[in-house]
Structure 1
Amino acid sequence: MNPDEEKFSDLSGKDKTIVISSITLLIIFVFAFIFFVYIGIFRIIGVEYTSRTALLLFFFLILILSGISNFLTLFFKVLLKPLLTLMPKWMAFSLISFIEISIDWLAIHTADDWMESVTISNRAELLIVLFCFILDKLWPNDNEKKK
Protein backbone atom coordinates (compact mmCIF):
# COMPACT_ATOMS: atom_id res chain seq x y z
CA MET A 1 0.00 0.00 0.00
CA ASN A 2 1.32 3.44 -0.89
CA PRO A 3 1.75 5.91 1.96
CA ASP A 4 -0.22 8.47 -0.09
CA GLU A 5 -3.36 6.28 -0.18
CA GLU A 6 -6.02 6.82 2.44
CA LYS A 7 -7.53 3.92 4.30
CA PHE A 8 -11.29 3.55 4.41
CA SER A 9 -11.17 3.52 8.20
CA ASP A 10 -9.46 6.96 8.19
CA LEU A 11 -12.34 8.63 6.31
CA SER A 12 -14.93 10.72 8.08
CA GLY A 13 -18.50 9.47 8.55
CA LYS A 14 -19.76 11.69 5.73
CA ASP A 15 -17.08 10.43 3.33
CA LYS A 16 -17.76 6.79 4.27
CA THR A 17 -21.47 7.32 3.58
CA ILE A 18 -20.69 8.87 0.19
CA VAL A 19 -18.34 6.02 -0.76
CA ILE A 20 -20.75 3.28 0.33
CA SER A 21 -23.69 5.01 -1.37
CA SER A 22 -21.74 5.49 -4.59
CA ILE A 23 -20.65 1.85 -4.72
CA THR A 24 -24.17 0.65 -3.91
CA LEU A 25 -25.69 2.86 -6.61
CA LEU A 26 -23.10 1.69 -9.11
CA ILE A 27 -23.86 -1.96 -8.37
CA ILE A 28 -27.62 -1.36 -8.58
CA PHE A 29 -27.16 0.55 -11.84
CA VAL A 30 -25.08 -2.25 -13.37
CA PHE A 31 -27.58 -4.96 -12.40
CA ALA A 32 -30.53 -2.85 -13.57
CA PHE A 33 -28.80 -2.09 -16.87
CA ILE A 34 -28.01 -5.76 -17.50
CA PHE A 35 -31.47 -6.92 -16.49
CA PHE A 36 -33.41 -4.33 -18.51
CA VAL A 37 -31.18 -4.64 -21.56
CA TYR A 38 -31.73 -8.40 -21.57
CA ILE A 39 -35.45 -7.92 -21.12
CA GLY A 40 -35.52 -5.30 -23.89
CA ILE A 41 -33.53 -7.48 -26.26
CA PHE A 42 -35.72 -10.46 -25.43
CA ARG A 43 -38.86 -8.47 -26.20
CA ILE A 44 -37.42 -7.44 -29.57
CA ILE A 45 -36.43 -10.97 -30.65
CA GLY A 46 -39.62 -12.56 -29.37
CA VAL A 47 -38.72 -14.27 -26.12
CA GLU A 48 -41.82 -14.73 -23.97
CA TYR A 49 -41.72 -15.37 -20.24
CA THR A 50 -44.29 -15.50 -17.48
CA SER A 51 -42.28 -13.79 -14.75
CA ARG A 52 -38.89 -12.27 -14.09
CA THR A 53 -38.19 -15.07 -11.65
CA ALA A 54 -38.70 -17.59 -14.45
CA LEU A 55 -36.31 -15.54 -16.59
CA LEU A 56 -33.72 -15.56 -13.80
CA LEU A 57 -34.08 -19.34 -13.39
CA PHE A 58 -33.75 -19.65 -17.17
CA PHE A 59 -30.45 -17.73 -17.04
CA PHE A 60 -29.16 -20.02 -14.28
CA LEU A 61 -30.18 -23.10 -16.27
CA ILE A 62 -28.43 -21.75 -19.35
CA LEU A 63 -25.35 -21.04 -17.23
CA ILE A 64 -25.25 -24.66 -16.07
CA LEU A 65 -25.91 -26.04 -19.56
CA SER A 66 -23.31 -23.67 -20.99
CA GLY A 67 -20.70 -25.20 -18.70
CA ILE A 68 -21.65 -28.64 -19.95
CA SER A 69 -21.57 -27.44 -23.57
CA ASN A 70 -18.11 -25.91 -23.04
CA PHE A 71 -16.91 -29.28 -21.75
CA LEU A 72 -18.39 -31.04 -24.80
CA THR A 73 -16.78 -28.53 -27.15
CA LEU A 74 -13.42 -29.06 -25.48
CA PHE A 75 -13.94 -32.82 -25.74
CA PHE A 76 -14.55 -32.57 -29.49
CA LYS A 77 -11.54 -30.28 -29.95
CA VAL A 78 -9.29 -32.80 -28.21
CA LEU A 79 -10.87 -35.71 -30.06
CA LEU A 80 -10.48 -34.04 -33.45
CA LYS A 81 -7.06 -32.47 -32.84
CA PRO A 82 -5.13 -34.94 -35.08
CA LEU A 83 -7.64 -34.38 -37.88
CA LEU A 84 -7.64 -30.59 -37.41
CA THR A 85 -3.86 -30.35 -37.76
CA LEU A 86 -4.07 -31.98 -41.20
CA MET A 87 -6.84 -29.67 -42.45
CA PRO A 88 -6.37 -26.18 -43.85
CA LYS A 89 -6.89 -23.52 -41.17
CA TRP A 90 -10.12 -22.18 -42.65
CA MET A 91 -11.63 -25.67 -42.76
CA ALA A 92 -10.55 -26.48 -39.20
CA PHE A 93 -11.98 -23.15 -38.00
CA SER A 94 -15.24 -23.84 -39.85
CA LEU A 95 -15.57 -27.32 -38.36
CA ILE A 96 -14.87 -26.14 -34.80
CA SER A 97 -17.24 -23.20 -35.28
CA PHE A 98 -20.00 -25.50 -36.50
CA ILE A 99 -19.48 -27.78 -33.50
CA GLU A 100 -19.50 -24.86 -31.02
CA ILE A 101 -22.61 -23.27 -32.52
CA SER A 102 -24.46 -26.61 -32.67
CA ILE A 103 -23.68 -27.56 -29.07
CA ASP A 104 -24.54 -24.08 -27.75
CA TRP A 105 -27.79 -24.08 -29.72
CA LEU A 106 -28.60 -27.49 -28.27
CA ALA A 107 -27.98 -26.13 -24.75
CA ILE A 108 -30.30 -23.14 -25.24
CA HIS A 109 -32.92 -25.29 -26.94
CA THR A 110 -32.77 -27.79 -24.06
CA ALA A 111 -33.20 -24.99 -21.51
CA ASP A 112 -36.14 -23.67 -23.55
CA ASP A 113 -37.76 -27.10 -23.58
CA TRP A 114 -37.25 -27.65 -19.85
CA MET A 115 -38.59 -24.25 -18.82
CA GLU A 116 -42.24 -24.08 -19.80
CA SER A 117 -42.52 -20.53 -18.44
CA VAL A 118 -39.95 -19.21 -20.95
CA THR A 119 -40.58 -19.61 -24.68
CA ILE A 120 -38.05 -18.80 -27.37
CA SER A 121 -38.51 -19.25 -31.09
CA ASN A 122 -35.90 -21.27 -32.97
CA ARG A 123 -34.87 -18.15 -34.87
CA ALA A 124 -34.28 -16.28 -31.60
CA GLU A 125 -32.27 -19.20 -30.24
CA LEU A 126 -30.07 -19.15 -33.31
CA LEU A 127 -29.66 -15.36 -33.13
CA ILE A 128 -28.62 -15.56 -29.48
CA VAL A 129 -26.13 -18.35 -30.18
CA LEU A 130 -24.64 -16.58 -33.20
CA PHE A 131 -24.38 -13.30 -31.28
CA CYS A 132 -22.59 -15.01 -28.40
CA PHE A 133 -20.31 -16.90 -30.81
CA ILE A 134 -19.32 -13.72 -32.64
CA LEU A 135 -18.75 -11.93 -29.34
CA ASP A 136 -16.57 -14.82 -28.17
CA LYS A 137 -14.45 -14.71 -31.31
CA LEU A 138 -14.11 -10.90 -31.33
CA TRP A 139 -13.38 -10.53 -27.61
CA PRO A 140 -9.63 -10.37 -26.94
CA ASN A 141 -8.28 -13.48 -25.28
CA ASP A 142 -5.35 -13.38 -22.82
CA ASN A 143 -3.93 -16.62 -24.26
CA GLU A 144 -3.64 -15.06 -27.72
CA LYS A 145 -1.79 -12.03 -26.34
CA LYS A 146 0.88 -14.23 -24.73
CA LYS A 147 1.81 -15.97 -28.00
Structure 2
Amino acid sequence: MEQNRLRLPAFLAKVGARLPEPFVSLHFVAGLEVARLMHWLNPPEELEGKVFLIRVEDLGVASRFRVMAGRFRPCMGQDEDLSLSACAADFLVMMQGEMDADTLFFQRRLRISGDTELGLVVKNWLDTEERPAWLRRLAGALLPG
Protein backbone atom coordinates (compact mmCIF):
# COMPACT_ATOMS: atom_id res chain seq x y z
CA MET A 1 0.00 0.00 0.00
CA GLU A 2 2.84 2.38 0.84
CA GLN A 3 4.11 2.41 -2.77
CA ASN A 4 0.68 3.60 -3.99
CA ARG A 5 0.69 6.73 -1.85
CA LEU A 6 0.70 10.06 -3.60
CA ARG A 7 4.12 11.69 -3.42
CA LEU A 8 4.24 15.45 -3.76
CA PRO A 9 7.44 17.26 -4.74
CA ALA A 10 9.39 18.46 -1.69
CA PHE A 11 9.51 22.05 -2.94
CA LEU A 12 5.73 22.34 -2.36
CA ALA A 13 6.24 22.21 1.41
CA LYS A 14 8.79 25.01 1.15
CA VAL A 15 6.38 27.14 -0.87
CA GLY A 16 3.44 26.29 1.38
CA ALA A 17 5.40 27.16 4.51
CA ARG A 18 5.72 30.71 3.17
CA LEU A 19 1.96 31.15 2.83
CA PRO A 20 0.52 33.00 5.81
CA GLU A 21 -1.81 30.85 7.91
CA PRO A 22 -4.65 33.42 7.67
CA PHE A 23 -4.53 33.18 3.86
CA VAL A 24 -4.68 29.37 3.96
CA SER A 25 -7.38 29.39 6.65
CA LEU A 26 -9.67 31.72 4.70
CA HIS A 27 -9.59 29.41 1.69
CA PHE A 28 -9.89 26.21 3.70
CA VAL A 29 -12.83 27.54 5.71
CA ALA A 30 -14.54 28.73 2.52
CA GLY A 31 -14.44 25.12 1.31
CA LEU A 32 -15.81 23.85 4.63
CA GLU A 33 -18.62 26.41 4.50
CA VAL A 34 -19.57 25.41 0.94
CA ALA A 35 -19.71 21.79 2.12
CA ARG A 36 -21.87 22.82 5.09
CA LEU A 37 -24.24 24.89 2.95
CA MET A 38 -24.62 21.96 0.54
CA HIS A 39 -25.41 19.71 3.55
CA TRP A 40 -22.34 17.58 2.91
CA LEU A 41 -20.63 18.41 6.21
CA ASN A 42 -22.60 19.47 9.26
CA PRO A 43 -20.62 19.95 12.48
CA PRO A 44 -22.09 18.36 15.60
CA GLU A 45 -22.94 20.53 18.62
CA GLU A 46 -19.89 19.27 20.53
CA LEU A 47 -17.65 21.25 18.16
CA GLU A 48 -19.26 24.58 19.05
CA GLY A 49 -16.68 27.15 20.11
CA LYS A 50 -13.75 24.77 19.62
CA VAL A 51 -10.61 25.77 17.71
CA PHE A 52 -9.03 23.31 15.27
CA LEU A 53 -5.72 23.23 13.45
CA ILE A 54 -5.36 21.15 10.29
CA ARG A 55 -1.79 20.75 9.02
CA VAL A 56 -1.07 19.24 5.60
CA GLU A 57 2.55 18.32 6.12
CA ASP A 58 3.72 17.68 2.58
CA LEU A 59 2.14 20.93 1.39
CA GLY A 60 3.60 22.90 4.29
CA VAL A 61 0.25 24.55 5.05
CA ALA A 62 -1.88 24.88 8.16
CA SER A 63 -5.41 26.14 8.71
CA ARG A 64 -6.84 27.29 12.03
CA PHE A 65 -10.59 27.61 12.38
CA ARG A 66 -13.45 27.30 14.84
CA VAL A 67 -17.09 26.34 14.81
CA MET A 68 -19.42 29.20 15.79
CA ALA A 69 -23.21 28.96 15.64
CA GLY A 70 -22.83 25.75 13.63
CA ARG A 71 -20.64 27.48 11.01
CA PHE A 72 -16.95 27.19 10.21
CA ARG A 73 -15.00 30.41 10.81
CA PRO A 74 -11.29 31.20 10.45
CA CYS A 75 -9.53 32.25 13.62
CA MET A 76 -6.05 33.59 14.05
CA GLY A 77 -3.62 33.47 16.92
CA GLN A 78 -5.71 31.29 19.22
CA ASP A 79 -4.54 28.03 20.73
CA GLU A 80 -6.26 25.05 19.18
CA ASP A 81 -8.32 22.56 21.14
CA LEU A 82 -7.50 19.84 18.61
CA SER A 83 -4.80 19.48 15.98
CA LEU A 84 -4.76 17.01 13.07
CA SER A 85 -1.64 16.55 10.94
CA ALA A 86 -1.08 14.26 7.96
CA CYS A 87 0.09 14.35 4.36
CA ALA A 88 -2.31 15.29 1.56
CA ALA A 89 -2.75 11.68 0.36
CA ASP A 90 -3.81 10.54 3.82
CA PHE A 91 -6.36 13.32 4.16
CA LEU A 92 -7.65 12.35 0.69
CA VAL A 93 -8.16 8.67 1.58
CA MET A 94 -9.95 9.77 4.75
CA MET A 95 -12.17 12.16 2.72
CA GLN A 96 -12.87 9.40 0.24
CA GLY A 97 -13.90 7.07 3.05
CA GLU A 98 -11.38 4.44 2.01
CA MET A 99 -9.56 4.57 5.35
CA ASP A 100 -10.74 5.77 8.73
CA ALA A 101 -8.93 8.03 11.17
CA ASP A 102 -8.18 5.13 13.55
CA THR A 103 -6.32 3.19 10.88
CA LEU A 104 -4.32 6.23 9.83
CA PHE A 105 -3.58 7.08 13.47
CA PHE A 106 -2.36 3.57 14.34
CA GLN A 107 -0.23 3.50 11.18
CA ARG A 108 1.27 6.81 12.42
CA ARG A 109 0.11 8.60 9.29
CA LEU A 110 -2.34 10.86 11.17
CA ARG A 111 -1.13 12.78 14.20
CA ILE A 112 -3.68 14.03 16.67
CA SER A 113 -2.97 16.27 19.63
CA GLY A 114 -5.06 18.21 22.08
CA ASP A 115 -8.39 17.37 23.70
CA THR A 116 -8.78 13.57 23.52
CA GLU A 117 -12.55 13.57 23.99
CA LEU A 118 -12.93 16.18 21.25
CA GLY A 119 -10.71 14.04 19.02
CA LEU A 120 -13.10 11.11 19.49
CA VAL A 121 -16.09 13.30 18.65
CA VAL A 122 -14.40 14.50 15.44
CA LYS A 123 -13.31 10.97 14.51
CA ASN A 124 -16.82 9.55 15.00
CA TRP A 125 -18.34 12.46 13.11
CA LEU A 126 -16.01 12.05 10.14
CA ASP A 127 -16.41 8.27 10.12
CA THR A 128 -20.22 8.51 9.95
CA GLU A 129 -20.58 11.54 7.66
CA GLU A 130 -21.94 10.52 4.25
CA ARG A 131 -19.62 11.52 1.44
CA PRO A 132 -21.08 12.72 -1.86
CA ALA A 133 -20.27 10.44 -4.79
CA TRP A 134 -18.42 13.22 -6.64
CA LEU A 135 -16.07 13.67 -3.64
CA ARG A 136 -15.25 9.97 -3.57
CA ARG A 137 -14.57 10.07 -7.32
CA LEU A 138 -12.43 13.22 -7.05
CA ALA A 139 -10.34 11.86 -4.20
CA GLY A 140 -9.99 8.56 -6.09
CA ALA A 141 -8.87 10.36 -9.25
CA LEU A 142 -6.16 12.23 -7.32
CA LEU A 143 -4.71 9.09 -5.76
CA PRO A 144 -2.47 6.71 -7.71
CA GLY A 145 -3.50 3.08 -8.20
Max Rg structure: 1
Is TM (by shorter chain) over 0.5?
no
- TM-score normalised by structure 1 residue count: 0.31
- TM-score normalised by structure 2 residue count: 0.32
Q: Which has the higher contact order (CA 8 A, sep 6+)?
A: 1
Q: Which has the higher helix share?
A: 1
